[in-house]
């Protein structure tokens, strides 16, 4: 039985009109089953939360490792550029060549005409909106809602 079925069975052990317990043994058995199921779900949540933390840590470690490797590549390419001074190099296992490229460098963004700028879509500052509403201010298009969060420890 799932938790909802157990809850329904618990309800059936109590007389709806009088609130009197009809089958005490069955009620206690169902309550224990329900408690076991709730505990198992809570333990599963804790296990998944620990797994997420491990994944986050590993992801951060791999991102740092990736950044280190990318930085090494930049440094090694710079070294090859200096060592070869623009001349091609080729062996059976590797080749190095050069290509001219162009990049725009911006020295003062304030001097750039608007047609060459990209603007991000506005994003609500929910922390400030919450503060304002709690302080009694009305913020158009926003309301403060209350909900219950499940905390598993």
Cα 67 from Cα 150, distance rounded (Å): 37
Residue in the structure block whose two tokens are 């290509």: 99
Cross-strand bridge partners of residue 104 = none
Tens digit of pLDDT at every position of the chain (153 positions): 788 788 888 888 888 788 788 888 888 888 888 898 888 889 999 999 999 999 999 999 999 999 999 999 999 999 999 999 999 999 999 999 999 999 999 999 999 999 999 999 999 999 999 999 999 999 999 999 999 888 888
Nearest C-alpha neighbor of 143 from the set 133, 153, 132 = 133
What's the pLDDT at 17? 82
What's the pLDDT at 85? 94
What's the pLDDT at 9? 85
pTM above 0.75, yes or no: no
């Amino acid at each position: 039985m799932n938790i909802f079925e157990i809850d329904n069975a618990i309800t059936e052990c109590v007389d709806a009109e009088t609130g009197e317990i009809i089958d005490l043994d069955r009620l206690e058995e169902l309550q224990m089953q329900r408690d076991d199921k709730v505990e198992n779900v809570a333990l599963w949540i804790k296990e998944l939360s620990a797994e997420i933390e491990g994944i986050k840590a590993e992801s951060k470690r791999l991102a740092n490792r990736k950044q280190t490797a990318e930085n090494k590549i930049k440094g090694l390419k710079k070294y090859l550029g200096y060592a070869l001074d623009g001349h091609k190099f080729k062996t059976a296992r590797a080749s190095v060549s050069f290509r001219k490229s162009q990049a725009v460098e911006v020295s003062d963004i304030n001097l750039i005409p608007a047609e060459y700028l990209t603007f991000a879509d506005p994003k609500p500052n929910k922390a400030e909106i919450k503060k304002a509403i709690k302080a009694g201010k009305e913020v158009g298009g926003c309301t403060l809602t209350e909900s219950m969060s499940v905390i598993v420890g």
